[in-house]
């Protein structure tokens, strides 16, 4: 048996990058025990989180990153180095960015790039936890990816209601 923290993330956007952009993000943290011999997974704890942002220029990449960042922030530092953290995202921007690229960005001083504040913090937290990042195909029937998408879209739509009804 092996304990693992799974972090499933997603983002959603309305009017990507435009002045009236509205975004939503979500993450699902699952603390699981995996029996590799039987392939049985026992869920020890599960937590869903989501939120939204209405700000000029908000982008889909920003919402994808926000889901990862909020999920990593929610993991107790006591788990660092003790339990594997596996991040699953349908965003290649996220998975490629933190499967080697962020080490290069840090090495070269984080030259100005979009979302640099979030990128730096995710890089630090991912290194603290030894997190691995896995790309998964979006909207392909993976239960927790689909659920993260539902939560991100719902958060975005709730924010849109406030904006358009005001």
139 pLDDT above the threshold of 70: yes
25 pLDDT above the threshold of 70: yes
**Per-residue confidence (pLDDT) for residue 110, from 0 to 100:** 72
Across 148-157, average pLDDT: 98
**Per-residue confidence (pLDDT) for residue 113, from 0 to 100:** 72
**Per-residue confidence (pLDDT) for residue 1, from 0 to 100:** 67
If one counts the domains in the chain, the total is 1
Domain that holds residue 72: 2-165
User: Which of 4-18, 51-65, 101-115 has the lowest average pLDDT?
Assistant: 101-115
Across 27-56, average pLDDT: 94
DSSP-assigned letters across all residues of 130-160: T-EEEE--TTSS-HHHHHHHHHHHHHHHHHH
Across 136-153, average pLDDT: 95
Across 87-115, average pLDDT: 83
Q: Are 122 and 68 in contact (CB under 8 A)?
A: yes
Percent residues over pLDDT 70 in the chain = 98
Strand pairing report for 40-54 and 132-135:
unpaired
Q: Are 31 and 112 in contact (CB under 8 A)?
A: no
| CATH code, domain carrying 25 | 3.30.420.10
Give which of 28, 35, 36 is closest to 5, Cα–Cα: 28
Average pLDDT of the chain to the nearest whole number? 92
């Amino acid at each position: 048996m092996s304990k693992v923290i799974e972090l499933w993330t997603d983002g959603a956007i309305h009017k990507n990058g435009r002045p009236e952009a509205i975004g939503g993000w979500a993450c699902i943290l699952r603390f699981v025990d995996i029996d590799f011999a039987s392939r049985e997974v026992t869920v020890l704890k599960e937590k869903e989180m989501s939120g939204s942002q209405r700000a000029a220029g908000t982008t889909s990449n920003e919402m994808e990153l926000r889901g990862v960042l909020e999920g990593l922030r929610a993991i107790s530092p006591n788990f660092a180095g003790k339990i594997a953290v596996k991040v699953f995202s349908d965003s290649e921007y996220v998975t490629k960015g933190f499967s080697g690229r962020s080490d290069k960005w840090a090495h070269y001083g984080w030259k100005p790039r979009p979302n640099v504040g979030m990128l730096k913090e995710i890089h630090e937290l991912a290194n603290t936890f030894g997190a691995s990042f896995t790309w998964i195909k979006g909207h392909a029937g993976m239960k927790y990816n689909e659920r993260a998408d539902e939560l991100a879209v719902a958060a975005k739509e709730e924010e849109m209601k406030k904006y358009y009804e005001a």
